[in-house]
A = this chain, B = another copy of it.
Amino acid sequence: MPSTKRPPSADRIVFGSRLRAERHRRGLTLEDVAALADMNWSYIAGLERGERNVSIDNMSALAGALGMPLWELLRPN
């Protein structure tokens, strides 16, 4: 009976780790990105850790804050 719920996707982890990597590559803090994307920094921190099931609109805003297309941010490297 327990839930047949879906587990967190691998893509969620990819997104989180790439988000963090690209942020660091640009020398930005969580607070910087939060300001650019108009979001709460602690929320973004949770995303980077893959703890939240982020929506496409928020992913898009974050990709925009980093100046890169979303599909590229999701591509593992």
Q: Which residues of A contact B (CB under 8 A)?
A: 6, 8-12, 15, 38, 53-57, 59-61, 63, 69-72, 74-76
Contacts and interface: CB of A to CB of B under 8 A. Distances in A.
10 contacts: A6-B38, A9-B57, A11-B56, A11-B59, A11-B63, A12-B56, A53-B56, A55-B55, A69-B75, A71-B72
Contacts of A15: 56
Given A6-B38, A38-B6, A12 B72 contact: no
A11 B70 contact: yes
B59 A56 contact: yes
A6 B61 contact: yes
A27 B38 CA distance: 40
Contact of A60 (B10, B63, B69, B72): B10
